[in-house]
Amino acid sequence: MPGRGLINAKGGARMDTSGVSAYFYAGDFVEAARRYKDGEPQSYATHDELIRTFAAIGAGGCPVDLYSFCTPTAVPAQEIFPNVRVTALGGTHHRDPVLVEAFRRDPHPAAICHIPSLALHYHAWRSDKRVLSVMASSFNTHGPRARLNFALLRWLLNRPRFDFVANHCAPATQLLARAGVDRDKLLAWNIPFHRSPGQRAPKAHRGAGDATICYVGSVNESKGVGDLLRAVATLRDDGVPVQATVVGGGDVVAMQELADALGITDRVHLTGLIDNERAFAIMCESDAVIVPSRHDFQEGFPLVLFEALASRTPIICSDHPIFATAFRAGTDALSFAARDHRDLARQVARLLGDDRLYAALSAAADATWARVTVAADWGTMITDWVTSGADSAYLRGMTLASQERR
């Protein structure tokens, strides 16, 4: 199905193409498309932008195939917009061959690897396609096998086959540069923000009644949710009354069982997956946003941190390397030793007991926001690469090397 060409995001010349494929780790993009069409809120803040961008590329005459790797079941290609199809691959673990098999079958001459899969990147390098690598990871590797895999991935990313290598936000992208990925092809990316700290006044600690803290994200031990619940129990034992709301899907039953075992069922509310608007409202209503990721979680710079900054609710995060790169402890956020629920409890008590510190952290959101939001717009990045590839003036101007030369 030959493409008719598409004008790039910066108004450049048309480029003929016979299609592009994009490979994502997970996501129900059929449901995301339905929500987008019906004007319903998305569970994930990125999905509206993803659907809007690829729908526009398809409408411009370029066929698009989106692949979702880890899904409950395998579902054949479904058209969600003209020229835009979604395939659920039904993958169950990171080495599942269905991802590579889909890549080998796909006929399109351009591929977006939106997942840090070594196998996918290897086969992309061996192909004759032009390739864009887009990730959201700190590559905080542990153990010899993980270090070897990252060394191989880094070597692949520096090959000419990959026009650009994009990572979510400046802190995570800087980590890739320090690890040896070419700054001339590295891009920080983000989605457009419809919220910012400038839309809200700085907060002061309310002081009356039980304090409220919240977590928003995937619910599992690697994300530190169990450590958060153990901290709530420690705070109870120390006479600090705290109510915790945990928002997100995942191991919700296991975390509820842990709360029961700790005797804090009356202090913890697990909402499951809810829409993004309600999740943001919970952040605004809370006294602190907790981001307790353990070091072994391959965290990029999570969107929840942007949402937390926009809410002006003070952040208490673990000392995960990506957070340590982005935040000055005690100035932008409070930090605790990952996996140490007692240290997390101490930082919560510290925040709640110091009104001056609380107000300073809330007021600092503007400066922190300005520092961490310098990035290429995701939709523009995708569209400009599809239409202009390595010749995109916009993307060349947004690389780390270009930014540093200014």
**300-359 pLDDT tens trace:** 778 899 999 999 999 999 999 889 888 999 999 999 999 999 999 999 999 999 999 999
Average pLDDT over residues 202-218: 89
Q: How far apart are the C-alpha atoms of 367 and 346, rounded to whole Å?
A: 26
**What own/partner pairs with CB < 8 Å and gap ≥ 24 does 77-82 have?**
78/30, 80/29, 80/30, 80/33, 80/51, 80/55, 81/33, 81/51, 81/54, 81/55, 82/58
Residues 334 and 186 placed together within one structural domain of the fold: no
What is this structure's pTM? 0.73
Whether 296 maps to a domain, the answer reads yes
* pLDDT tens digits, one per residue of 275-284: 989 999 999 9
Average pLDDT over residues 177-194: 92
Give residue 42's pLDDT band: very low, low, confident or very high (50, 70, 90).
confident
Give residue 296's pLDDT band: very low, low, confident or very high (50, 70, 90).
confident
Whether 315 maps to a domain, the answer reads yes
pLDDT at 15: 46
Q: Give the total number of structural domains in the chain.
A: 2
pLDDT at 7: 45
Which amino acid does the sequence have at 145? Answer: R
Tokens representing 338 are 């990952």
Q: How far apart are the C-alpha atoms of 50 and 357, rounded to whole Å?
A: 38
Residues 85 and 140 placed together within one structural domain of the fold: yes
Residues 141 and 245 placed together within one structural domain of the fold: no
Residues in contact with 146: Cβ distance below 8 Å, sequence separation at least 6, in sequence order = none
Assign residue 62 the CATH number of its domain. Answer: 3.40.50.2000
Give residue 17's pLDDT band: very low, low, confident or very high (50, 70, 90).
low
Q: In which domain, by residue range, is 31 found?
A: 20-193+374-401
